[in-house]
Amino acid sequence: MSTPLPADTDDARYLALKARDARFDGRFFTGVTSTGIYCRPVCSVRTPRRENCRFFDLAAQAEHAGFRPCLRCRPELAPQALAWSVQDAGAILVRQALRLLDAPPAGSPLEGGAQVAQLAARLGVSDRHLRRLFDAALGISPLQYLQTRRLLVAKQLLTDTRLPVTQVALASGFASVRRFNAAFVQHYGLNPTQLRHAGPADAGRSRPVRLGYRPPYDAAALLAFFAARQIPAVEAADTRVLRRTARLSSGNAEHAGWLEATFEAARSRVALTVSDSMLPVLPQVIGRVRAMLDLDADPAAIATVLHGDFPEGDGLRVPGCFDGFELAVRAVLGQQVTVAAARTLVQRLVERFGTPIETPWPGLNRTFPAAAALATAEGSALGQLGIVRQRQAAIVALARAVDGGQLALHAHADVQATTAALCQLPGIGAWTAQYIAMRALRWPDAFPSGDVALHKALGVQGARQAARAAAERAQGWRPWRSYAVVRAWATL
């Protein structure tokens, strides 16, 4: 049983709820008035009566209305809703704010009010204006949304790890255990220890974390993309599993370890296992893995624009990355060479500048070089690896900009400012900047119009101005041109 997309009315949402349709996971939540619980559309409990259902676009709205999260379907596992608009300025600003608030906490936690003020300043509006937009669009405040996100992150850490409650509080963004305990009791009616007792009895610290996604999802195509570009010692991908080493900075601390992501297609989810060394920053790891595997994409919204031109590509996702600097270096080394040649150069770079690490898999034994390591690299050392001078200069300039804090390469960076800054670096042009925007900045509307393979796929390789012809052809694919690029590549 399936209901047509999209489910814009409560009756249509109820049909999706009855069908437990995973395509709607994260697109709405159902509050059940007879129990006071809110659930995902895929929840396995008996479907409630229609008159007992209230529907919400966001988990924060359900919690603001007084509902508690279901302990069975666990709303914190749902993919995020990443709708994009290119018309309503207020809606665009609210959506940008939600994306930034969804960013896992890093470094020292900020009090909620301070973080919202920082968010408003970053968006170039006042606190009051941001609150007004949230109230008009969502019926909740930015602080209420942020509090729900933090509590759901904490709920996942309590359920899926054995981290001490103190670490859970800090990792989920609370400034103190006291504030964390008070918020948990106020919202959920139980203390954090009680929730942990309600979870699985396994005492192991590295049990998998489940990450949901919306079907259709062509996991084989995504993993094949990673497998074709995998760097020995850093990553390994097969038809179902992606493993890699990882390094992540949080505040003044650096965490290095490994992760394993296994697709469970029958349940539309990924099982993520990480090393104990990465557990203190698990929320950030989850955020990066969700971006790397494009788990929050909404295939229905994308297909509305692209299905007519690419009818076979509805399950394709835009491959992301775990680390934006790593992706940028790999993009520079991939300029005007084959995938195999680029992989060879990156492998040499990892062997020379990477850091040794132990993992359960002997073949994965180094992390990708840090920006600080490449910022001071000698040209002769890079030249010995077979890297030409132009790309030597690009890599060093890129590393210095990232290491010095002038350039941020992640999903919450300002796309226009970042791509402009990239093009100011030696050896980096529009193609490289757009490719980085597509995979590292997670911009759904990136378009590397100068890509030769894209020209071939679109049939414009013989045009006098192929890049211009490709860009003109792509105008109708906004705001999903990144997905159009992936679908075009898949036709080759």
Catalytic residues: 39, 451
Per DSSP, the residues of 341-395 read: HHHHHHHHHHHHH-EE---SSTTB-EEPPPHHHHHT--HHHHHTTT--HHHHHHH
Rounded CA-CA distance 344/415 in Å is 30
Q: Is 339 exposed, middle or buried (CB count within 10 Å of its CB: 0-12, 13-18, 19+)?
A: exposed
Q: Is 127 exposed, middle or buried (CB count within 10 Å of its CB: 0-12, 13-18, 19+)?
A: middle
Question: Comparing C-alpha atoms, which of 209, 213, 261 is closest to residue 239?
Answer: 261
Torsions phi, psi for 166 (to 5 deg)? -60, -45
Q: Is 187 exposed, middle or buried (CB count within 10 Å of its CB: 0-12, 13-18, 19+)?
A: middle
Dihedral over Cα of 375, 381, 387, 389: its sign: positive
**For tokens 């159009």, what's the residue?**
484
Q: b vs e for 271-297, b when ≥16 Cβ sit within 10 Å of the residue's Cβ?
A: bbbbbeebbbbbbbbbbbbbbbbbbbb
Is there a contact between 385 and 348 (Cβ–Cβ < 8 Å)?
Answer: yes
Question: Comparing C-alpha atoms, which of 399, 262, 256 is closest to residue 326?
Answer: 399
In Å, what is the CA distance from 457 to each residue of 357, 478, 484, 488?
41, 18, 11, 6
Kindly give the pairing relationship between strand 37-39 and strand 209-212.
unpaired
Is there a contact between 299 and 214 (Cβ–Cβ < 8 Å)?
Answer: yes
Torsions phi, psi for 155 (to 5 deg)? -60, -40
What is the length of the chain?
492
Four-point Cα dihedral 443, 96, 286, 248, nearest 10:
80
Rounded CA-CA distance 420/425 in Å is 9
In Å, what is the CA distance from 291 to each residue of 54, 85, 147, 285, 415?
30, 20, 22, 10, 15
Is there a contact between 222 and 319 (Cβ–Cβ < 8 Å)?
Answer: yes
